[in-house]
Chain A
Amino acid sequence: MTDMIRATGLVKRYKDVEALAGLDLDVPEGKVLALLGPNGAGKTTAVRVLTTLLKPDAGSAVVAGVDVLADPDGVRSRIGLSGQYAAVDEHLTGFENLEMVGRLYGMSRTAARARARELLERFDLAEAGDRPSKTYSGGMRRRLDLAGALVAAPPVLVLDEPTTGLDPRSRVGMWDVIRELVASGATLLLTTQYLEEADRLADDILVIDHGRAIARGTADQLKAQTGGERVEVVLAHPADRDRVRRLMAEVATGEIGVAENGRELTAAVDGGVGSLRRLLEGLERERVEVLDVGLRRPTLDDVFLTLTGHASEDAAADATTDPTAEVTR
C-alpha cells in the first residue's frame, strides 16, 4: 500500500528546545495514524511541518505524493487541516466561513455555496448556518472548522487535537464524525493527548515524546508491551501513601506509579486475583482506609508511563476528572 504521508528525520529547533528531534512517520492510504504524546511532545510542530505551515530545519516529508518543501502549494490543495484552535472567523456565519474557504480553494461561487450548504447539513449545523459563528458552542465551532478542512474533499486530513477542550458530549459527537470520515476512505493523521481517543479512532498509534517517536503499534500491541494486569488503589488519606506503597511492593512486579494528585497508586502484578487478595489483606491488617481498590487491564496511560518513565501530563487528571470516561466506557 502506498503511503499518503511519509516523513523522514524531521528536525525543528527553537532557541533552546528541540521540538522535533528526527521524527519519522508514515501513514498508508486510507489509514488513521494517531500521534500520541503529552503537551510539548512535538505533535503540533509535526503537524505544522506536514501541512506546510512550518519549515523543518532538517528532514523531508511527502504528502499525497507531493514534497512538502518543494511544492507547498501542491500539498495545500491536497490536504485539509483542522487545528487545535478552531480556525473560523467569528464574525462570519458558518455558511460564509465555508463559502470563503471554497472560494480560496479556487471553486466557483456557485460550487462553493453548494458545498457550504452540503457540509453544514452533514455536520449538523444547517440551522445555525446563517448565524455568526461567534454564537456557536465550542463543539459547533470545531465541527465548522472540520467542515472547513473538508471543503475541497482532500485525500489527506490532518486533525490537530480535534477534541481538546470539548465537553464530553461534544467529544463523543466529534469521534462519530471522524469515524465517518475514515469509513469514507480518507487518510488521516490525528494528534491527541487523550490516550483513549487514539485507542478509539486510530489504526496505528505513534507515541512521541521530546520530538521523537518512542513506540509504534496498534493499541493492543502497545498494551501488550506493558504486559500483565495492574492493581490500582485510591487512597482516602494521602498520608497513607508510603504505607500503601510498601504493601504494594510486596505484590508488584515493577515500579509503583503514583498519580500527580498523590492519591492513586498503580502497580503491575503477575498474580491476578491472588495479588489483589494479598494486597487487600495487607490493607485490612494495617487498617488503611481506601476509597477504591481494583484489578484492571493495562491502559494506554500505563503504556506511556512504561515507555517514557513519566506519566503523560493529562493522564493523571484524565482518570479522575475526565467525565468522558464514564460516558464512553
Chain B
Amino acid sequence: MIQQLVMYEEELHRINAICETLHRDSNAKAVLVIDKNGQAMASAGDVQELDVTSLSSLTAGNVAATGGIASLLAEKEFAGQFLEGEKISYHVSIVGQRVILVVLFDGRSSLGLVRLRVRKATTELVLVLEVMVKKSQSGSGQQSVFSEITDDDIDNLFND
C-alpha cells in the first residue's frame, strides 16, 4: 500500500548541484527542494537560520491548498506562486508534479532573474526525478535494509 519515494546518493548529489547552481545564478538567499508531502529533500544557500522542516511542511500545505483551488476552478494546477515581502520574497514552483522548488531572495535579485533561472533548473530537476521515481519503483538502487528489520528493532525504538 505504501508507495515509497527513495533518495539515493547519486540523485541527491545531482539535486544538490542543481540547487547550488540555481542559488548562485539567481543571486538567491536560499533554495529548497521539498517533496509534495512536506519533506525537505535538498537545499542550498543560507539555510542555517531557517526552520527548514516547518518551512517545508507549510509550503507543501500551501501548494496543496492552491492545488485544491485550481481543481475547483477546473485548472490543472497553478504551477507557480510568488509572495513579495519587504525584505524577502518567496518564489514557489512545482516540478514534475512531484516536488516543490522554493527560491528565497532579497533585493540583490529580481523576480525576472529568479523565474529565468528556475526554468532552467526545473528542466534539469525533472530528469533527475524521473530516475528517482524509476529507482524507487524498481527498488534497484540499493538492497533495502528494511527487509532485515525485526520486531525487536521496532520495539527497541520505543523503550523509554
Chains A and B form a bound pair? no
